[in-house]
Chain A
């Protein structure tokens, strides 16, 4: 472990490499986390199936690429639409019935059940193996090859940024976006003012699913996926949202990139196999410190 730290100190260009990779991939995480924050803020639903939706999107891209020969990048709009419809279906069949449920744990349990179901379904359909859909875009050598960036990361970064900006504009200027933001602030007032809350919720949930789908397509291009890796993406999203706070768009972007870089560096130092454990322990530590601090202010976090 110490030798790894020494490597990082003695060759700053390598550290820079890790951080830049982290920043590029972080945009994808931020996109997924933004979806989580959206339904958390608007519907007060904690989605434990967030990661599974990402992986589902990834598998769709993988299938379209290998079965139908569609270029992975071109599958993104298809996957987004497919996941949007999937999100609507889940909303109508599951989430819809839990709104207004006083016991918040019921909703959490339902999304947890959804996560388990999706894991098992994906394993049954796509098999347990690790898959990837790398479009082989080659590498970019900077500074005489001291810094290597794979083009696919660069492309996925720009796609994530593009989708993020599009979301931002949509939320700000479209009718539905405005309705969603109004509902997030005060559902009762919005209902009185004639906003169809049901439709807003359905759309919010579906938009989140679509964002997860896009995230999944990018993930399967950049990395690998398997049916049970979703949990890691769920943790990451929680981590980002908790660091940034709900409804803080810029915060989510910075937190996403920051966490991703940090993860890359720690992953190098103590080994990538502890990836999920590291994120999770960090998450718990942050929440516990916050909880203790809140206690001192006569509050508790909930």
Chain B
């Protein structure tokens, strides 16, 4: 069953066509990758999916619901979260607070004027340990390094127990020695928590390793899709990357 269905989405800024007739399917429980040269419209597609801007035409279906006209918070509450290329965290709050506020506070609004519950705090500790930030939990998030902020943002989205995560270049800016660990964690999240992942990635090694199915965008259109080894040997993809 497909958790996310994107059907012939068009999006242009002024006269510039960012996405044209883009379709993709993300089956539930899988890891899907999106690759493409710079400016091929990957992030635009992400933004269209999560509700950052309106789309010109097409359909976006998530978990059986049409979401192409919903706003960001509504889509997030349906269980689809995204992380950003540039980190978005709450800089003047500690890591623990960043995590706490990411728990589903709206769900138990009757307790909104109480402190966070034991369960939330346990989950915070567990997830911070999972991404390796436990020792830094009382530091201000704004004081972390860029790579650590990325990990924190990843952990924050896990607090919400999403159905699906959209990760925009999760390894960009992360120390190369940490990348393998990150791949393992992404896979772990997918297997153990059953979270579907859609990943934009520039690092070919990472995406070939991680994804079960890969879509390749070029110049705003869907160029090819297939299994990693198929994509790797696809002449059109190679040409797109070599700038032909």
- A-side residues, CB < 8 A to B, are 295, 297-299
Q: Which B residues touch A298, using CB under 8 A?
A: 51-54, 69, 71-72
| Chain A: minimal CB distance from B227 (Å) | 34
Q: Which B residues touch A299, using CB under 8 A?
A: 53-54
| Chain B: minimal CB distance from A296 (Å) | 8
Which 9 A-B pairs rank lowest in CB-CB distance, beginning with the nearest?
A298-B54, A297-B54, A298-B51, A298-B71, A298-B53, A298-B52, A295-B71, A299-B53, A298-B72
Q: Which A residues touch B72, using CB under 8 A?
A: 298
- B-side residues, CB < 8 A to A, are 51-54, 69, 71-72
Bound Cα distance from A62 to B54, whole angstroms: 54
Q: Which residue of B lies closest to A297 (CB)?
A: B54
Beyond A298-B51, A298-B54, A299-B53: 8 further Cβ-contacts under 8 Å?
Answer: A295-B71, A297-B54, A298-B52, A298-B53, A298-B69, A298-B71, A298-B72, A299-B54
Would you give 11 A-B contacts (Cβ < 8 Å), ordered by A?
A295-B71, A297-B54, A298-B51, A298-B52, A298-B53, A298-B54, A298-B69, A298-B71, A298-B72, A299-B53, A299-B54
Bound Cα distance from A285 to B69, whole angstroms: 25
Q: Which B residues touch A295, using CB under 8 A?
A: 71
Q: Which residue of A lies closest to B68 (CB)?
A: A298
Q: Which A residues touch B69, using CB under 8 A?
A: 298
Q: Which A residues touch B53, using CB under 8 A?
A: 298-299
Bound Cα distance from A298 to B51, whole angstroms: 7
Determine chain B's interface SS by DSSP, over half rule: loop
| Chain A: minimal CB distance from B67 (Å) | 11
Bound Cα distance from A298 to B11, whole angstroms: 14
Bound Cα distance from A29 to B51, whole angstroms: 40
Q: Which A residues touch B71, using CB under 8 A?
A: 295, 298
Bound Cα distance from A10 to B53, whole angstroms: 50
Bound Cα distance from A298 to B53, whole angstroms: 5
Bound Cα distance from A299 to B52, whole angstroms: 8
| Chain B: minimal CB distance from A38 (Å) | 25
| Chain B: minimal CB distance from A113 (Å) | 24
Bound Cα distance from A299 to B69, whole angstroms: 11
Which among B52, B71, B72 has the greatest number of chain A C-beta atoms within 10 A?
B71
Bound Cα distance from A299 to B53, whole angstroms: 7
Q: Which residue of B lies closest to A295 (CB)?
A: B71
Q: Which residue of B lies closest to A300 (CB)?
A: B71
Bound Cα distance from A192 to B64, whole angstroms: 51
| Chain A: minimal CB distance from B76 (Å) | 13
Bound Cα distance from A194 to B189, whole angstroms: 51
Bound Cα distance from A49 to B99, whole angstroms: 41
| Chain A: minimal CB distance from B62 (Å) | 15
Which among A295, A298, A299 has the greatest number of chain B C-beta atoms within 10 A?
A298
Bound Cα distance from A298 to B72, whole angstroms: 8
| Chain A: minimal CB distance from B66 (Å) | 14
Bound Cα distance from A299 to B51, whole angstroms: 9
Bound Cα distance from A260 to B72, whole angstroms: 40
| Chain B: minimal CB distance from A185 (Å) | 15
Q: Which B residues touch A297, using CB under 8 A?
A: 54
| Chain B: minimal CB distance from A298 (Å) | 5
| Chain A: minimal CB distance from B128 (Å) | 28
Bound Cα distance from A298 to B50, whole angstroms: 10
Bound Cα distance from A297 to B51, whole angstroms: 10
| Chain B: minimal CB distance from A302 (Å) | 14
Q: Which residue of B lies closest to A296 (CB)?
A: B69
Q: Which A residues touch B51, using CB under 8 A?
A: 298
Bound Cα distance from A295 to B51, whole angstroms: 11
| Chain B: minimal CB distance from A198 (Å) | 28
Q: Which A residues touch B52, using CB under 8 A?
A: 298
| Chain B: minimal CB distance from A106 (Å) | 15
| Chain A: minimal CB distance from B72 (Å) | 7
| Chain A: minimal CB distance from B26 (Å) | 21
| Chain A: minimal CB distance from B242 (Å) | 31
| Chain B: minimal CB distance from A262 (Å) | 32
Bound Cα distance from A254 to B51, whole angstroms: 36
| Chain B: minimal CB distance from A295 (Å) | 7
Bound Cα distance from A295 to B53, whole angstroms: 10
Q: Which A residues touch B54, using CB under 8 A?
A: 297-299
| Chain A: minimal CB distance from B160 (Å) | 20
Q: Which residue of A lies closest to B55 (CB)?
A: A298
Bound Cα distance from A295 to B72, whole angstroms: 10
Bound Cα distance from A297 to B54, whole angstroms: 6
| Chain A: minimal CB distance from B43 (Å) | 16
| Chain A: minimal CB distance from B52 (Å) | 7
Bound Cα distance from A298 to B70, whole angstroms: 7
Bound Cα distance from A299 to B55, whole angstroms: 12
